[in-house]
Amino acid sequence: MKEFFQEEYTKEILSDEQLTELILAKETRNCYIHNGGKIDKHWIDAYENARGKTNGNIGDDLTQGIENIYSQVENWHKLILEITHKIKIKVESK
């Protein structure tokens, strides 16, 4: 995903901040699906890239790591829709 958005054709679709947030959303999904909601090293790395250092105070599971997780999921959903729209415009312009 990171490589896709760094290609010449796609690099202006996302800002660096949006890309790191999208990666955090992906890692959150992975922890929920594959780890039963438990936070792993990939998630911590994605969180710190998107939001800054954790200082070890994020807990063991996603509900502790992200305050108001349901609101956060809504924000990620909006981001994904925005990205999809930008990709659609890019593809249709060619």
pLDDT tens, N- to C-terminus, the chain (94 residues): 788 888 888 888 888 999 999 999 999 999 999 999 999 999 999 999 999 887 777 788 888 888 888 899 999 999 999 999 998 998 898 7
Report the alpha-carbon distance of residue 56 to residue 15 in Å, rounded: 27
Residue 93 placed within a domain: no
| pLDDT of 30 | 95
Cα-only R_g, the chain: 15
- pTM for the model stands at 0.85
Terminal C-alpha separation, the chain: 21
Provide the residue range defining the domain that includes 80: 17-86
Residue 1 placed within a domain: no
For the chain, the domain total comes to 1
| pLDDT of 49 | 94
Residue 73 placed within a domain: yes
